[in-house]
């Protein structure tokens, strides 16, 4: 029972790191970016390739995954995404699905469609039993890393100068620009940072979620659920939504395996019927 809760929390934390960049993109730029999972996949593959081909240790490959995905995000933001901010949502959906299709086929072409396996270092394998609670070391590691990231993220958004500029740009781009904030730079760095987080999440999650070229399509729905249910205006919303989703998914698969993903989708639809804009909506912000 406790073990399931623990695994669910680890899974939820992972989902949060994967999805929080998407929450910011959607909330900030009002851009429906279905290709977010592709950045996560890039991060995962950077880790796998760095470890297999270059012999980089696991811990050192994680920052690589972050930087790689962030750089890719920055380049794509500047070249492809920026012209689309003002286009209708349908265009954004089509565009980002197109990117996903390309990413899936390209990875398949260059690396192959087999599932990739991450060799964890010895100290991350195995598990310790504390009473009735079985703590997988890697799960604990994920929770620790993600918790630290969450705190840093919250600090950046709430306390730093950059955070204020970001929040100002979210609320009203034109006014923010008029106040001398370079909205383009704020957007670019936020997008890159969000993509980097997705890459890091993909690298961390490769062992838990599995990594193959269909990753962006398989987990796209999960990221979107986190964002849609959590709301896009804070990071507490997506965090709680991700934890809820992670625990519900793990518990559902354990207790009623026959129902599979059914529970998650039903939960999502019920929540969205009840609160169409997500569970945690800041009052007064733009819809």
Partner 1 sequence: MTAQQSLLRPVRMKWWEPVLWLVLFAAPVAFPSQAPIINETAIWALFALSLDLVLGYAGVVSLGQAAFFGFGAYIAALFAKHVSPDPHIGMLVAIGASAALGLLASLTILRGTDLTRLMVTLGLAAILLELANKLDWLTGGTDGIQGLTIAPVFGQFEFGIDGRVASYYSMGLLLLFVLLCRLIVNSPFGATLKAIRDNRLRAMAIGIPVHARLISIYALAAGIAGAAGAAFVHTSGYTSLEAFSFDRSADVMLMVVIGGVGWLYGGIFGAIIFKVIQDVLSQITPQYWMFWIGLFLVVLVLVGRDRLLRPWTWWRKA
Compare residues 237 and 278 and give the one whose CB is closer to partner 1: 278
DSSP assigned state of 82 = G
Compare residues 15 and 32 and give the one whose CB is closer to partner 1: 32
User: In angstroms, rounded to a whole number, what is the distance separating the alpha carbons of residues 165 and 171?
Assistant: 10
User: In angstroms, rounded to a whole number, what is the distance separating the alpha carbons of residues 218 and 103?
Assistant: 13
Smallest gap from Cβ 221 to partner 1, in A, equals 6
User: In angstroms, rounded to a whole number, what is the distance separating the alpha carbons of residues 64 and 84?
Assistant: 29
Q: Which helix (H) or strand (E) holds 18?
A: helix 2-29
Compare residues 86 and 161 and give the one whose CB is closer to partner 1: 86
Smallest gap from Cβ 85 to partner 1, in A, equals 12
Compare residues 55 and 257 and give the one whose CB is closer to partner 1: 257
DSSP E strands in 141-226: the ranges are none
Residues in the chain, overall count: 287
Smallest gap from Cβ 126 to partner 1, in A, equals 34
Q: Which helix (H) or strand (E) holds 225?
A: helix 215-230
Smallest gap from Cβ 94 to partner 1, in A, equals 5
Compare residues 161 and 258 and give the one whose CB is closer to partner 1: 258
Site for partner 1, rule CB under 8 A: 26, 32, 80, 83-84, 87, 89-95, 97-106, 108-109, 217, 221, 224-225, 227-228, 258-262, 265-266, 268-269, 272-273, 276-278, 287
Smallest gap from Cβ 42 to partner 1, in A, equals 15
| CA distances for 122 relative to 46, 193, 209, 226, angstroms | 21, 30, 20, 32
């Amino acid at each position: 029972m406790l073990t399931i809760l623990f695994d669910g929390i680890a899974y939820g934390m992972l989902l949060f790191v994967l999805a929080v960049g998407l929450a910011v993109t959607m909330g900030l730029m009002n851009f429906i970016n279905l290709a977010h999972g592709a950045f996560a996949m890039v991060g995962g593959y950077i880790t796998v390739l760095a470890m297999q081909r270059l012999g980089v240790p696991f811990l050192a490959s994680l920052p690589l995954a972050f930087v790689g995905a962030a750089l890719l995000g920055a380049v794509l933001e500047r070249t492809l995404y920026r012209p689309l901010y003002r286009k209708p949502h349908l265009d954004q959906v089509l565009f980002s699905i197109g990117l996903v299709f390309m990413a899936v086929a390209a990875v398949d072409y260059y690396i192959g469609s087999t599932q990739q396996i991450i060799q964890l270092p010895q100290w991350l394998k195995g598990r310790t039993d504390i009473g009735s609670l079985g703590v997988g070391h890697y799960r604990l590691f994920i929770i620790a890393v993600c918790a630290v990231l969450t705190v840093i993220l919250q600090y950046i958004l709430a306390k730093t100068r950059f955070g204020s500029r970001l929040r100002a740009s979210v609320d009203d781009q034109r006014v923010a620009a008029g106040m001398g904030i370079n909205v383009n730079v704020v957007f670019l760095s936020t997008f890159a940072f969000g993509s980097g987080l997705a890459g890091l999440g993909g690298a961390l999650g490769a062992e838990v979620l599995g990594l193959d070229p269909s990753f962006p399509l398989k987990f796209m729905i999960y990221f979107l659920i986190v964002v849609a249910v959590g709301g896009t205006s804070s990071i507490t919303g997506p965090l709680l939504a991700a934890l809820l989703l992670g625990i519900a998914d793990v518990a559902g698969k354990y207790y009623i395996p026959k129902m599979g993903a059914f529970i998650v989708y039903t939960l999502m639809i019920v929540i969205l019927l009840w609160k169409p804009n997500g569970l945690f909506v800041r009052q007064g912000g733009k819809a």
